[in-house]
Chain A
Amino acid sequence: MNAPVITTQRLTRRFGDVVAVRDVSIDVPRAAIFGLLGPNGSGKSTLIRMLCGVLRPSEGDGRVLGVDIRRDPEAIKRRIGYMSQRFSLYGDLTVRENLQFYGRVYGLDDRRQHERQDAVIELAGLSPYIDRLASRLSGGWKQRLALACALIHEPEVMFLDEPTAGIDPVARRELWDLLFALSHRGVTMLVTTHYMDEAERCTHVGYLYLSRLIAVGRPVDLKSDPSVTPRGTRHVEVECADPTAALARARALDGVRDATLVGNALHILLEETRDEPWLLAAVAAGDRSAGVRPIAPTLEDVFVLLSRAQQAREASS
């Protein structure tokens, strides 16, 4: 059973003249957590909607659990769960009623309904709120309920479109713990997010930029990709009192391939011909508190560098 659970070949979707998703090819193995990243409007939701069978692809092919997304979208729908970025449950129904509703929608019989209801309530820890109206739950609990509803029919694949947008850090952490628990049970997940720390926790990530997938792979492989650290360059971090001014100076330097602000520090792609003291003197002259150290690239560095390169390619073509 090594066949990928989700696979696409050159999947494309147009809305009129606008290409929302262009030539996207991915393979997601069983029990993976595939993180899909990219700026707003880069095509993340469109891709998910095609995979869920609610949006017809314009070109290309895709299979989920071996089922063709063009030919039999309804067959896919029985076996997947979907959780959207907006709270999309019935606020005027209670937690129990929402679970019952989705159970009936998936055609569970009474015995199975009880069994599954108890299972997801326990998994999501919803038992204290079972008779509360869904609209009265706080943001994090609403997302847990949405997840529980999406899991009621024990799907083999879960699609989560920004499940943690707008909820507090503790709830965010707890939701991710739930996702890991599911992954251990063999559920395959495709999740979109804007948070880099969430991306770092995924088994696989893909980065959509201007409707193209410009990076895909395991985080560790992406960070060691030669296009992220080209031959003859290395990554360093500069800390100083005035990073904004230092950024402007660094970008003007010959020998600095790229410079980005990350928090209070500068991440710099430095050519091997230059050394650290030279860099420090050039960008933070006279700043006694300034320091520089070599670092491994983060996923954020990877995505920033790749999208700059892509931008340059688009501009030159």
Chain B
Amino acid sequence: MNGFLAILLKEFAHIRRDRGTIFFAFVVPVMQLTIFGYAINVTIDDIPMVILDLDGRQDSRALVEALCNTQTFRVAERVHDHDRFRRAITAGRAKVGLLIPPDYAEHLLRREQATVQVLIDGSDSQVATTAMNTVALLVNRLAAGRARAVVEALQTGPARDEGGEVAPPIEARARLLFNPDLESSHFFVPGLIAIILQIVLIFLTSFSIVRERENGTLEQLFVTPVGRTGLLLGKLAPYVIMAFGELLIVLVVMVAVFGVPIHGSLLSLIGLSSLFILTALGLGLLISTLAATQLQATQLAYVIMLPSVLLSGFMFPRSEMPLAIYALSFFLPVTYYVEILRGVILRGADLIDLAPNIAGLLACCAAILGISLLRFRKQLD
């Protein structure tokens, strides 16, 4: 523990003088929160639609109106011939095309099945899936309504609901748990805590050590009686404190600005976050033992950061990944921490629910800290 206080005070003096560190530690996270919380909106609505209505009577107008009322679609263009209909889609002005045949109303009157054609631009799979599901759902509902009117007239029917009205024989009552409005910020913001903590800890800790190596001051310190423990703790403690400050900021912004409530225990959230902070610290330390310059440290940090963002389940569901990539994600500490954060914050999960993830995070933490402490010596060879 020799020299712990000396190093600690010096490190705070560096942080105080270096605006870059403060900016990186406190402004960048807020920027990331804004980007992921507001800008990336994965609930899709207002898909532009082109309409070729060859019927033009009340029934066909009702269909178009019903589609627009879902808010998923908006009418981008109304055309009157097939050529311009196709062109609206190929030019990208519309993602969806609705073609209503001239005999739409007649079919309905004669109780024959009426067919409308829906063309969907499949190049953006998320938009296409949403459009397809919405159209299918809406048309089903319209069709069921018409069927009910017919059944009503016949004084019979497949089933009745509590009010005695004609109803479909089976109804599924789905209830969305944890995120009833399907807000994408509820999904992203908790995971973002993991990413922000990791970025800041990896960069700041590895830089603070590599900078001393680059400047020759680390060599100077090796010649002093400063102990290895004192040197490491003194250098790392300030960044642990900063990481907790950030955790707090991000949690407050999450609850106050994005309205994501914390359903689980705050204490276990903080406790498990400390475990992750320790792990990320170990990653920073590991980088600092491998890199001779700050440039190398940056490159190594990206080697860890990119898979952490893309493969940890923070952005894309892990279950959809090919087996090899899925297996790789088990070696990323962020994977477990993202699960833990979403579990505690969104689902109110307790320690027993999260046991597998806690075990995984513990294993990563022990391995990373072990390796990096072994590698960090107070010797020059």
Bound complex: CA of A102 vs CA of B378, how far in Å? Answer: 17
The total of chain A residues at the interface (CB under 8 A) is 29
**A92 at interface (Cβ–Cβ under 8 A)?**
yes
A90 touches which one: B2, B3, B14 (CB < 8 A)? Answer: B14
Q: Which residues of B contact A104 (CB under 8 A)?
A: 3, 5-6, 9
Q: How far is the CA of A84 from the CA of B378 in the complex (A)?
A: 17
Contact partner, A102, options B215, B219, B224, B381, Cβ 8 Å: B224
Question: Of all chain B residues, which has the CB nearest A75?
Answer: B225
- Chain B residues with Cβ below 8 Å from A82 are 220, 223
Q: Are B220 and A49 in touch, CB under 8 angstroms?
A: no
- Contact assessment for B379 and A105 in the assembled complex, using a CB-CB cutoff below 8 Å: no
- How does the 8 Å CB contact mask read for A60-103 relative to B, with 1 for contact and 0 for none? 00000000000000100110101010111111110001000110
**Given that A54-B379, A56-B381, A101-B10 are contacting pairs, would A90 and B225 also be in contact in the complex, using a CB cutoff of 8 Å?**
no
**B349 proximal to A (CB < 8 A):** no
Residues of the A chain whose Cβ atoms lie less than 8 Å from the Cβ of B222: 54
A52 CB within 8 Å of chain B: yes
Chain B residues, Cβ within 8 Å of A97: 10, 13
Chain A's interface: helix, strand, loop or mixed, by majority?
A: loop
B10 close to A52 (CB less than 8 A): no
A106 located at the interface, meaning its Cβ lies under 8 Å from any Cβ of chain B in the complex? yes
Given contacts A77-B224, A105-B226, contact A54 B3 (CB under 8 A): no
The interface residues of chain B lying within 8 Å CB-to-CB of A80 are 223
Nearest chain B residue, comparing its CB with the CB of A82: B223
Tell me if A39 counts as interface (CB < 8 A to partner B). no
Residues in A with CB closer than 8 Å to B10 are 90, 93, 97, 101
Cα distance A90–B15 in the bound complex, in angstroms: 12
B219 touches A88 (CB 8 A): yes
* A198-234 residues at the B interface, CB under 8 angstroms: none
Contact between chains at B224 and A55 (CB < 8 Å): no
Task: Pick the contact of B216: A53, A54, A88 (CB < 8 A).
Answer: A88
* Contact (Cβ within 8 A) A55 B220: no
B63 contacts A by Cβ under 8 Å:
no
Distance of B207 from chain A, by nearest CB (Å): 13
List CB contacts (< 8 Å) of A42-63 with chain B. 49, 52-56
A107 an interface residue at 8 Å Cβ cutoff? Answer: yes
Select B2's contact among A54, A84, A107, beta carbons within 8 Å.
A107
Q: With A55-B379, A92-B17, A104-B9 given, is the CB distance from A77 to B225 under 8 Å?
A: yes
Cα(A172)–Cα(B3), bound, Å:
32
Asked if B226 contacts A49 (CB within 8 A), the reply is no
The interface residues of chain A lying within 8 Å CB-to-CB of B378 are 54
B379, A56: Cβ atoms under 8 Å?
yes
CB pair A106 B216 closer than 8 Å: no
Partner of A88, one of B3, B9, B217: B217
Task: Give the distance in Å from the alpha carbon of A15 to the alpha carbon of B381 in the complex.
Answer: 8
User: Which of A86, A87, A91, A105 is in CB contact (< 8 Å) with B224?
Assistant: A105
Give CA–CA (A106, B2) in the complex, Å: 9
Say yes or no: A88-B215 contact (C-beta < 8 A), given A77-B225, A104-B5, A105-B224.
Answer: yes
Decide if A77 touches B14 in the complex (CB within 8 Å).
no
- In B81-118, which residues have CB < 8 Å from any A CB? none
The answer to whether B220 touches A84, judged by C-beta atoms less than 8 angstroms apart, is: yes
Nearest Cβ on chain A to B10's Cβ, whole angstroms: 5
Contact partner of A77 (CB less than 8 A), chosen from B17, B18, B223, is: B223
Contact B5 A84 (CB under 8 A): no
Kindly state whether residue B67 has any CB partner on chain A within 8 Å: no
Structural contact, B6 and A49, CB atoms closer than 8 A: no
Q: Nearest-CB distance from A224 to chain B (Å)?
A: 37
B305 at the interface (CB under 8 A from A): no
- Asked if B225 contacts A55 (CB within 8 A), the reply is no
B347 to chain A, nearest CB (A): 46
CA distance A74 to B17 in the complex (A): 32
Interface residues of B in 203-223 (CB under 8 A from A): 215-217, 219-223
A106 to B225, Cβ gap below 8 A? yes
Smallest CB-CB separation from A53: which chain B residue?
Answer: B223
Mask of B158-191 contacts with A, CB within 8 angstroms, 1/0: 0000000000000000000000000000000000
A91 and B215 CA atoms in complex are apart in Å by: 9
Given A77-B223, A88-B215, A105:B17 Cβ within 8 A = no
Instruction: Say whether A74 contacts B225, CB under 8 Å.
Output: yes
Instruction: Assess the A93–B13 pair: CB atoms within 8 A.
Output: yes
Q: How distant is the Cα of A28 from the Cα of B216 in the complex, in angstroms?
A: 27
Check if B6 sits within 8 Å of A54, measured CB to CB: no
Contact mask B15-42 → A, CB, 8 Å, 1/0? 0011000000000000000000000000
Contact of B380 with A by CB under 8 A: yes
Q: B225 contacts A52, CB within 8 Å?
A: no
Q: Known contacts being A90-B14, A104-B5, is A55 close to B219, with CB within 8 Å? A: no
Interface pair B225/A92, CB less than 8 Å apart: no
Residues of A whose CB lies within 8 Å of any CB of B are 15, 49, 52-56, 74, 77-78, 80, 82, 84, 86-93, 97, 101-102, 104-107, 159
Give the interface of B toward A (CB within 8 A): 2-3, 5-7, 9-10, 13-14, 17-18, 215-217, 219-226, 378-381
- What are 6 A-B pairs at a CB distance below 8 A? A74-B225, A88-B217, A90-B10, A92-B17, A105-B6, A106-B224
